[in-house]
Amino acid sequence: MKKPVLNILASLISGVLLAAPAAACDYPRSPVVPNGEVASKEEMQEAQVKVRAFVAAAEAYLDCLQAMESSSDTPLPPRQTEINVARYNAMVDEMHRISDEYNVAVRIFKARQP
């Protein structure tokens, strides 16, 4: 009876240990990009500030993931490396998505200016 409990406990502990290093890197929240068809100049300027701050925070997150990978005294378990690569790639994709969305909004905004 004790063996299944120990196995479950060991699984929980290993799961926490795998998640702990990545938790040290803060995943930034994506900003909301306004609709360029209806946004005011002030909203577009505010969005620009938020997008730039997001990109800077995202770059810090990516640096944190790389530092975690390279600063470990022992190699990370393969599963943790897979998780870090997936998180890294997801953040790069999100950076591209937000940047593209903002650039489209700016073009639409500028097109409606007299």
Give mean pLDDT in consecutive 10-residue pieces for the chain, a chain of 114 residues: 46 43 79 96 97 97 91 84 94 97 97 89
Compute CA distances 75 → 3, 68, 70, 81, whole Å. Answer: 29, 10, 9, 9
Q: Write down the pTM of the prediction.
A: 0.74
**Exposure of 64 by Cβ count < 10 A (0-12 exposed, 13-18 middle, 19+ buried)?**
middle
Sign of CA dihedral 18, 19, 22, 23: negative
Q: How many other C-beta atoms can be found within 10 angstroms of the C-beta atom of residue 109?
A: 20
